[in-house]
Amino acid sequence: MEDLSLHILDIAENSIGACAKRIEILITRDAGKDRLRVEINDDGRGMDRVTLSKVRDPFFTTKGKKTGLGLPFLAQAAEQAGGEMSVASAPGKGTRVTATFQWSNVDRPPLGDMVGTLMTLIAGHPDLDFLYEERDGNRVFRFDTREIRTELEDVPINTPPALEAIRRMLNEKVIFGT
């Protein structure tokens, strides 16, 4: 995958497949430590120890396909950029995927189109809750679909006017951009 937003979309779709109702996407840049941290948390069904031990194996998948390349590709991208990937999970407890990258590393993939990724998730899964948070030093941007739904009252979040308003807001507020 060319950028991190596509990795994030893939992992979020895995979370949805695991019956998650809430997915948190947290992106933190620590300039002092020259690090970028990407964390995706969900409240899905989680994985047992055997499944968890195989998440880096590209020939293992629980989806009936022949390969499961998402997490192995993310791990490879992180390691090539001086970082690492970890996965924590337990049945009934959800899953946390964390990847770190050396910010200044020439091999660090760009963050990519996070607005497009978020819009895809919101439009395609309007009943789910998504939290997106970016941190860069003292700057913080936080977006939570639960808050948006409260503001929209009876208007569904995936109506074209609501989606356009969300897209405009995200385009104005997202810190890292593409």
Dihedral sign computed on CA atoms, order 114, 46, 123, 134? negative
Does 4-173 carry CATH code 3.40.50.300? no
Q: Are 36 and 28 in contact (CB under 8 A)?
A: yes
* 166, burial (CB in 10 Å: exposed 0-12, middle 13-18, buried 19+): buried
Residue 108's pLDDT is: 96
Q: What is the pTM of this model?
A: 0.92
Which of 29, 26, 6 has the alpha carbon at shortest distance from 77? 6
Residue 1's pLDDT is: 61
Residue 66's pLDDT is: 42
**Most distant CA pair in the chain: distance in Å?**
47
Q: How far apart are CA 41 and CA 81, in angstroms?
A: 22
What region, left, alpha or beta, does residue 82 occupy, with left being phi > 0 and alpha being psi -120 to 50 degrees? Answer: left
Name residue 175's amino acid: I
Residue 67's pLDDT is: 45
Q: What is the pLDDT along the chain (178 residues), one digit of tens a residue?
A: 689 999 999 999 999 999 999 999 999 999 999 999 999 999 999 999 988 888 887 776 665 554 456 888 999 999 999 999 999 999 999 999 999 999 999 999 999 999 999 999 999 999 999 999 999 989 999 999 999 999 999 899 999 999 999 999 999 988 776 5
Residue ranges per structural domain of the chain: 4-173
* 3 state DSSP class of 60: coil
